């Protein structure tokens, strides 16, 4: 009667079994052990390389921030100037107040002023705030208003401007009835991500040019 012991006791199994088993185990080690671990090793080496690059970038960023921290006074001063031109929030009441002040300074009578919503500029970090505006004035006063808005410290652009001559039914005096859509801008607080590099420099010519330009704008 055949038994399990009889198979192992067979002379060919006793002779060839161990070497063949060792070969088999060796192959299994390669297939199930060496190959997957080698794949892991390759991934690890890539991860280590990118982590090293990341550390270098972080060290560079830390160094730049440390340098910029020494210039915090200049940064604060410039931030104030730029924040006046492009605010960090929509600040609609302040915008309407600025427009009202400019209208008053040019003796333009505001007949309607309404917040028209805000939209994000595509692919940019800034938002546009729209204001529907209507006024009554003389032509020279309207010209004063347009020029003053173009030179106001909080940047305001005209999306459209339309005016018509109207006649006051009571006084029979002619007046310019203007309607326009105004756009102002704001950039929200930035999201801080450690991996984002610092590319800004206070000595950047474009930045310095903007500082000079903004000096000419009038604060209302």
Residues 42-81 that bind other proteins (CB under 8 A): 44-45, 47-48, 51-52, 54-55, 58-59, 61-62, 65-66, 68-69, 72, 75-76, 78-79
Least distance to other proteins, CB of residue 124, Å: 7
From candidates 2, 4, 93, 194, binder to other proteins by CB under 8 A: 194
CA angle at 204 for the pair 202 and 208, rounded to the nearest 5°: 80
Sign of CA dihedral 107, 111, 117, 121: negative
Report whether 124 contacts 133 (CB < 8 A): no
Write the CB contacts of 102 (distance below 8 Å, at least 6 apart in sequence). 145, 148, 149, 152, 220
Neighbours of 131 (CB within 10 A): 20
From candidates 73, 172, 192, 205, binder to other proteins by CB under 8 A: 192
Residue 17 touching other proteins (CB under 8 A): no
Could you tell me which stretch among 35-43, 93-101, 104-112, 129-137 binds other proteins (CB under 8 A)?
35-43
CA angle at 126 for the pair 184 and 133, rounded to the nearest 5°: 15
Least distance to other proteins, CB of residue 97, Å: 20
Applying the rule CB under 8 A, the residues between 90 and 129 that interact with other proteins are 124-126
Could you tell me which stretch among 3-11, 98-106, 108-116, 161-169 binds other proteins (CB under 8 A)?
161-169
Residues recorded for the chain = 220
């Amino acid at each position: 009667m055949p038994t399990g012991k009889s198979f192992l006791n067979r002379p060919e199994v006793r002779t060839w079994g161990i070497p063949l088993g060792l070969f088999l185990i060796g192959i299994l080690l390669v297939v199930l052990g060496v190959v997957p671990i080698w794949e892991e090793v390759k991934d690890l080496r890539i991860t280590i390389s990118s982590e090293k690059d990341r550390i270098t970038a972080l060290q560079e960023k830390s160094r730049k921030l440390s340098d910029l921290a020494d210039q915090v006074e200049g940064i604060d001063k410039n931030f104030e100037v730029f924040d006046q031109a492009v605010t960090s929030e929509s600040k609609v009441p302040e915008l309407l107040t600025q427009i009202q002040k400019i209208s008053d300074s040019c003796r333009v009578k505001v007949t309607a002023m309404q917040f028209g919503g805000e939209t994000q500029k595509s692919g940019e970090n800034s938002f546009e705030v729209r204001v529907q505006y209507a006024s009554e004035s003389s032509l020279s006063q309207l010209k004063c208003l347009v020029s003053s808005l173009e030179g106001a410290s909080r940047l305001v652009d005209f999306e459209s401007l339309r005016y018509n001559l109207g006649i006051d039914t009571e006084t029979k005096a002619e007046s310019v009835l203007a309607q326009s859509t105004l756009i102002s801008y704001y950039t929200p607080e930035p999201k801080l991500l450690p991996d984002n590099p610092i590319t800004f420099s206070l000595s950047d010519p474009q930045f310095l040019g903007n500082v000079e330009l903004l000096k000419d704008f009038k604060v209302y």
